Amino acid sequence: MSEPPLLPVLISSARLRLVLVTPADAADMRAGRHQDRWHPDYPRRDDVDAAAMAREGDTWGPRHVVLGVQAVGSIGCFGPPVDGETEVGYGLVEAARGAGVATEALRALVAETDRAGVRLRAAVAPQNRASLRVLAACGFTELRGGDEDGNLVMARPLPATLP
């Protein structure tokens, strides 16, 4: 079996930097230690859970969503791709919501996973309209049904021509 492709260590967009969560960051998050470069409401419980997947050198793991100089959320894959696909998750502190930050972060990540030839899927609660809008805006058009937790599972087809 071949090794999965690597994603860039740093992924950027017009306003954001998607910075890998280091093992030291993950330890701080789990221990409740706050870093100055984090928004006062970051990390959220979901960010701490995602940080448990951080591994040194794993570019498919969780990333801080950095707006300006502060981490305001997290985004990342739930591990390297298997059979050309992996799951993505994301979330923001309340203060960063509603300004297109989640859409911009996911678009930046999608651009890199497309270059790597990897499909993304996401699970979202059916009542989470904001997240459903983000997924739709980022090309998640394939509905695969539900998962065991009652979430909708959506996937993003790879573009016909890769960049």
- The answer on pLDDT for 4 being more than 90 is no
**Helices 101-115, 129-137: crossing angle, 10 deg rounding:** 40
* Topology given in CATH for the domain delimited by 10-156: Aminopeptidase (3.40.630)
pTM of whole model > 0.85? yes
pLDDT for the residue numbered 163: 53
- The answer on pLDDT for 134 being more than 70 is yes
Strands 85-92 and 119-124 come out as: parallel
Beta partners for residue 111, in sequence order: none
Boundaries of every domain in the chain: 10-156
- Report pLDDT digits (tens) over 77-130: 999 999 999 999 999 999 999 999 999 999 999 999 999 999 999 999 999 999
- Report pLDDT digits (tens) over 8-42: 999 999 999 999 999 999 999 999 999 999 999 99
Cis peptide before 43 (omega within 30 of 0): yes
pLDDT for the residue numbered 150: 95
Confidence of residue 3 (pLDDT cuts 50, 70, 90): confident
pLDDT for the residue numbered 1: 56
Q: How far is residue 46's CA from residue 102's CA, in Å, rounded to a whole number?
A: 15
- The answer on pLDDT for 2 being more than 90 is no
- The answer on pLDDT for 162 being more than 60 is no
Strands 16-20 and 119-124 come out as: unpaired
